[in-house]
Amino acid sequence: MKRLASLTLLALAACASGPSDDEMRDDEMRQRAEQVFRESFTRGNPVIRARVEQQDDVQALCTRYRNDPPKDVAAKIESEQAASIRYPAPGHFLGDWRRGEKIAQDGYGMRFTDPDTKRPNGGGCYNCHRIAPAEISYGTVGPSLYRFGALRGTGEAVQRYVFGKIYNSQATTACSNMPRFGHNGVLTEEQIKDLVALLLDPASPVNQ
Amino acid sequence: MSFPRLLPAVLVGVLAASVPCVCQAQDDTQKEVERYRQLLAEGNPADLFEAKGEELWKTPRGPRKASLEQCDLGLGAGVVKGAFARLPRYSADTDRVQDLESRIVTCMVTLQGFKQEDITKNPFSAPGRPSDLEALASYVAGESKGMKLAAPLDHPKEMEAFRIGERLFYRRAGPHDFACVSCHGENGKRIRLQELPKLTDPNDARKIFTSWPAYRVSQGTVRTMQHRLYDCYWQMRHPQMDYTSEASIALQVFMAKYAKGGEIRAPGLKR
């Protein structure tokens, strides 16, 4: 009887404020999973370890909502991520499409077997996207970008959009699968401009 | 061995010949890769690893000069047949959920007297350094060929492992924001030319989970599920995952739930 009374109290307390039992169990499980994660990657480079152990807010939210956040959460992620993009000066969005093609092919960088931190990181774009038609070994996780400029236009507004998309994909699509290449320091501004050229330069094979 | 080295060249040739029309390229390429697999499946080099694993299993080795024949893989001491189809599972003697490889390591320690850290220091083979574990895993897995996967999900620790694995499957982290689900959350997708299973879809999970360990043509050796996970985390720009770590086993418990009922085809054959 005493137990029943305390259970009722607990239930009342849960109704009044604070997390529900389910939420508490969720939180416990989350903490337990985080502990298991930390204890399962003990041998690697401490810098890489620290970076994957500590999720940023966006990573934590996308994990929690399994990449399908409610509308208000998605809107908040998108506006905050959009505000953090550092654009080049107007009129300076287009780099060199030939260098862009190399970056799109290259998957080098930030893996635990990539010891040369002076060598620039690749974008690995072909892993997920169809881009120039000569490359038939392309992935399909992301949409085809073949003829992107020919279809969408190549003006400054599109250049700015593409730069922003590569810099921080979650500025337009919260919890997108695509890495935030600029935001996370994977690619430099120059490299992203070269990729913008690959998609939008009228001379690029993408638009032939 | 020049045979495995020749294969990638053959594959490139097959692929190059298969793209007369760009719009058809994707389907044609897929068909050719399938055809290539069928050709190879008739003589899977993994057979050699199974045979070597069986010999290792039955030979007295280690400081105690004992064989692994009395190993309890979950169905009782000495039962190898069908054991892989019931893994991962909770083991009372270690009080934890174990997968195929961690259970083999347990037996090598308890029966043969090997030191855990010695066995798990270099669990994956490299050129000039073969791996006993790759052979032993091939043998044990092969002894469940044709059976249906039925890993238990009853014990509280098995259920906890499932929930941890589920959470880790969706956990995004690192400079590329990757999680397992980044590649394995949708049907019919590819990385470059490699198809990706949607691991929460039983149709995909049944085919994939039950085909590891597998001979990997591009690497010229058998790779295990532990290696598959280690390799995924490498690609995800995470640090190297500890061999038989709790996370690696939790992820397998998670996958095994969706793969339940799939026919064991291990050791399989992969790119």
pLDDT in tens, B158-176: 999 999 999 999 999 999 9
Which H or E run contains A111? Answer: none
Lowest mean pLDDT among A23-37, A180-194, B200-214: A23-37
pLDDT at position B36, please? 67
What's the whole-number mean pLDDT along residues B193-199?
96
B270: enclosing H helix or E strand: strand B268-270
Query: Is the Cβ of A206 closer than 8 Å to some Cβ of chain B?
Result: no
pLDDT of res. A26: 85
Does pLDDT of A17 surpass 80? Answer: no
Q: Is the separation of the CB atoms in B254 and B166 below 8 Å?
A: yes
DSSP state at residue A120: P
pLDDT more than 90, % of chain B: 82
Interface contact flag, B248 A40, Cβ < 8 Å: yes
Q: What is the pLDDT of residue A47?
A: 87
The answer to whether A184 contacts B237, with C-beta atoms less than 8 Å apart, is no
Structure tokens at B47: 């057979």
Tokens representing A69?
């956040």
How many helices, marked H, and strands, marked E, lie in chain A? Answer: 9, 0
pLDDT at B19: 39
pLDDT of residue B11: 42
Nearest chain B residue to A129 by CA distance is B192
Residue-wise pLDDT tens digits, B29-58? 677 667 666 766 678 899 999 999 999 999
| B107 in active site | no
Kindly state the tokens that stand for B122. Answer: 């270099």
Interface pTM, i.e. ipTM: 0.90
Q: What is the mean pLDDT of chain A?
A: 92
Hey, is the C-beta of A144 within 8 angstroms of any chain B C-beta? no
Chain B residues with CB under 8 Å of A187 CB are none
pLDDT of residue B159: 97
How many Å separate Cα B121 from the centre of its chain?
Answer: 18
Are residues A179 and B175, on separate chains, in Cβ contact within 8 Å?
A: yes
Backbone φ and ψ of A184, nearest 5° = -90, 5
**Given this model, what pLDDT does residue B137 score?**
98
Mean predicted lDDT score pLDDT of chain B: 90
A10 pLDDT band, cuts 50/70/90, is very low
Q: CA nearest A28 in B: which residue?
A: B164
Domain boundaries, chain B: 1-42, 43-270
For the segment B60-101, what is each residue's pLDDT rounded down to a tens digit?
A: 999 999 999 999 999 999 999 999 999 999 999 999 999 999
Span A106-131, average pLDDT = 94
pLDDT band at B13 (very low <50, low <70, confident <90, very high): very low
> Could you give the count of Cα atoms lying within 13 Å of A173 in the half-sphere of its Cβ?
12
Three-state SS for B23-47 is HHHHHHHHHHHHHHHHHHHCCCCHH
What pLDDT, on the 0 to 100 scale, is given for residue A171? 98
Q: Is the pLDDT of residue B23 over 90?
A: no
SS3 B208: helix
**pLDDT digit string, tens, across residues B214-257:** 999 889 999 999 999 999 999 999 999 999 999 999 999 999 99
- Cα nearest neighbour of B174 on chain A: A52
> What is the pLDDT at residue B26?
57
Q: Name the residue among B209, B181, B196, B245 with its Cα closest to residue B84.
A: B209
Query: Given B21, B23, B71, B232, which residue is catalytic?
Result: B232
Query: Which of B141, B143, B22, B19 shows the shortest CA–CA distance to B88?
Result: B141
Give dist(CA B184, CA B169) in Å, integer.
Answer: 9
Please check whether residue B235 is in contact with residue B182, taking contact to mean a CB–CB distance below 8 angstroms: no
Q: What is the dihedral of CA B14, B17, B23, B25, to 10 degrees?
A: 10
- List C-alpha distances in Å: A87 to A78, A167, A186, B158, B227: 16, 9, 16, 49, 41
CA distance A100 to B172: 27
State the pLDDT at residue A201.
Answer: 97
Residue A115, pLDDT score: 80
Which region among A115-119, A154-158, A187-191 has the lowest average model confidence (pLDDT)? A115-119
Res A34: pLDDT: 98
**Structure confidence at residue B57 (pLDDT):** 98
Model pLDDT, residue B16: 39
Assess whether pLDDT exceeds 50 at residue A2. Answer: no
Q: State residue A117's pLDDT score.
A: 80
CB A64 within 8 Å of CB B266 = no
Q: What is the pLDDT of residues A165-180, one digit of tens each?
A: 999 999 999 999 999 9
Domains and CATH numbers, chain A: 2-79 (no CATH), 97-207 (1.10.760.10)
Q: What is the pLDDT of residue A154?
A: 96
CB contact under 8 A, B173 and A53: yes
Q: How confident is the model at residue A128 (pLDDT cuts 50, 70, 90)?
A: very high
Residue B197 has pLDDT above 70, yes or no: yes
Residue-level pLDDT at A13: 47
Could you tell me the pTM of the whole model? Answer: 0.88
Structural contact between residues A179 and B178, judged by C-beta atoms closer than 8 angstroms: yes
Q: What is the pLDDT of residue B27?
A: 66
pLDDT in tens, A50-81: 999 999 999 999 999 999 999 999 999 999 99
Share of chain B above pLDDT 70, in %: 86
Domain B43-270 in CATH 3.40.1280.10: no
Residue scoring higher pLDDT (A24 or B240): B240
Instruction: Kindly report the backbone phi and psi dihedral angles of residue B203, in degrees, each rounded to the nearest multiple of 5, phi listed first.
Output: -60, -45
Question: For residue A184, which residues of chain B lie inside 8 Å, CB to CB?
Answer: 175-177
H-helix or E-strand containing B194?
strand B194-196
pLDDT of residue B21: 42
pLDDT over 90 (residue B271): no
Which comes out higher in pLDDT, residue B37 or B118? Answer: B118
Instruction: Inspect the interface and report whether the beta carbons of A179 and B176 lie closer than 8 Å.
Output: yes
Q: Per-residue confidence at A20, pLDDT binned at 50, 70, 90?
A: confident
pLDDT at A163 exceeding the cut of 90: yes
